[in-house]
Structure formats: C-alpha cells, structure tokens
Structure 1
Amino acid sequence: MTSIDALMRSVPVIPVLVVEDVRDAEPIARALVEGGLTALEVTLRTPAALDVIRAMSRVEGAVVGAGTVLNVKDLDAAIGAGAKFIVSPGLTRPLTEAAIASGIPYLPGVATAADIMRGLDFGLDRFKFFPAESSGGIKALKALAGPFGQVRFCPTGGITEVTAPDWLALKPVLCVGGSWVVPAGHPQPDAIRHLAQAAAKLRPA
C-alpha cells in the first residue's frame, strides 16, 4: 500500500468527486485516469458513494479513496468498499486512532496551528488544508507552514483551475484538491479527460 506522501506526490490535483449515480462512476474514473489523474477522492456525500468507490476501483490505474470521512463508521465502510486512502475534513482522536491502526493512508483536515500540532502528536505530517480559500487562502497557509517545516499540505476548498498553480508553487504544497475537473451535471467523458490533462500539467517544473 502506497504512503500518503507518495499519493500526494503522484498527481498535482486530486479530483474531489461527488457522484450521485453509480452508472457514472466507471466513465468518470476512466476519463480521469486517461487524462493523467490517477488518485481519485470519492466523497461520502451521496447514497451511491460506496458503490461508486467499488465501481471506480475496477478501472485500471485508478487509486480510489474516500473523502468526507467523519467517523470510525465511515472509515470502516470506506475500507470495506475498497478505498485505498482516506480523507477527512477535520482531525479527531477516534477517527485518527482508527485510521492509523488500520494502516490505510490517511489525510486529515487542518485549518489551525492547534490542528497541526494535534496531528503531529499522532505522528502525522501530511494534511489537507481545509477549507483552503475561506480559511485565509495562500497567505494563511504560508503563515501556518512557517513553524512546521516538515509538514506538507493538500489545500482543498475553493481552489480553481486558475488559482491552483499559485498554490502548487508553494514548497509546503504537494498537491491540491479540486472539484472543477468533473463539472456538475451529467458527466461528459471527453470534457473530463481534457480537464484532467490540463490539471495533470499544473505542477511547476
């Protein structure tokens, strides 16, 4: 099983996916992988989410994880559906202890220095900065990152194709989470593939 660090370094953008219909799962995943984005975060925000994880996991090259994991019950369900990594909007002791015990790559959300310090107490140094824009944006992340030189981030929340390069240019940022790669509505695989290709090229040289 890959580490969360390796996963974050594998793509500049992790698509954050809210999929309502499991029939859309494989076409979306295939288009993203063909476009060069292989790490896919399926949020547990829809009744279909666990089945979507199962379906996307059948697509060759896709590394499918679960997002919006809020508690141990969500964690167990996501792992049972085949999730290869776990993303949470926050950092709580019960979920963190269970995730570490499971051995699955785990990316908890942080927005303050206290959040980061709690994560470090658990031996974690890779975090989702969330919600990125409304928590103060790039200026806030730079300030937060200063005292924590070993910490690296995946900013998520309000980031767009236009602003992503500015985030990715920051040394503490390994990747960003973005929903723009799969627009809302009925999925159009060709459009998704083109958006994925553009996103896959966003990492600075």
Structure 2
Amino acid sequence: MLKKYTDILFDLGVGSITAQQLFWEHATLAEWPKSTTVFAAGKKNDKEYIILSGIAQRFIEQEGSSPVTTGFFVAPAVVTPHFARTHRGKSLFSLQALTDVVAAEIPVAALDALRTEYPEFRAFGQRVLEGALVAALHAEAAWRASTARERLLAMRQQFPNLENSVPHHVIASYLGITHVSFSRLRHELARSNNFIK
C-alpha cells in the first residue's frame, strides 16, 4: 500500500528508494476521518505530517466566537513544521481534517535524526521550510492589501476546486468575510464571468 505514495514523496523531495525506505521505517500511515481534530492549539504534539490525500485546515479558536481558518493543506502537502507551529512544545493552532485524509506521521525526533544523518532529508527539510516561508509572506502581503474579491480569486488559483470540496463557511472564515458575503461574492463573480463570455 505504501508504494502508491512513492511519487508523492518523490515530488516532495524524498526521492531515492533508500530515503523512502528510511522514511517508512519511522513513519506510520494514518487515516483521519472527516472532522477529525489531529492536534489542538495549546496542547503538546511531537509529530510531523505529510498529507497524502484529502484536505485539512489550520485554525485558531477565539473565545466567544467561531473558529478562524488560517490555512489549508491540500494533498500532497507538508503541514507546517513542528518548530514553526509550536511554542514551548505546545501547538499554536489546531489541525482538522475537512475531508477524509490519509497522512504520513513521523515523530519529530526521528525526522530530525534523519536530517542530521542524510543529506537528502536535510534538503527535504530546507525545501519545506522555504515553501512555508514563501507561502506565509505571500499570504500576508496579499491579505493585508487586497479586497475580498481579490482574496477569493487568489485562493481559487492556489487551491482549484476547493469550493467543491469543503464547507463554504470554512472558506468564508479563511477569507475574513461572513458566509452571506461569501455567497454574494461567488454570485457576483459567476455573473461577471457569464457576462464576459
């Protein structure tokens, strides 16, 4: 069963047969049913995650209000590395499966040991880190200076078909607008596209 994920790991930078064998010696294949909370903000978590199929959301909870979605992980995707998503060992955000998800879970200590010993895993870690940094900077720049319409169009470009796969109230939260405003904006875009055609 693990062979079906060979190409995904290769595309993410774990390319050689040896590296993939080492990875699976330490990693386990996990299935997260839709709505599973994988880890929660403020709680300890000692794993790294690669989402092999499905979609998950990163979110934070605010007292007295609904959870706020701050990001999506659409397979294949590496969840924000442990050192960047924790403070004093505790998670800064929660991770939840929005669809049924299959993921590779590997203890942080095991992946750190692989990075120390094998150049391929060091390159993998560097690639993940660079990708996370670029995504964070782009998101911050885009979100601060753009309209809701522009944010939706950017999201559609980054995550094609996301609107057909996850609840719309989650997307509205991610865009920083209400569910009603999101519905209205989708209708406006659909009308303008039909007009252009």
TM-score scaled by length of structure 1: 0.30
Q: Indicate the structure (1 or 2) with the bigger Cα radius of gyration.
A: 2
Structure with a larger share of its residues in helix: 2
Structure with a larger share of its residues in strand: 2
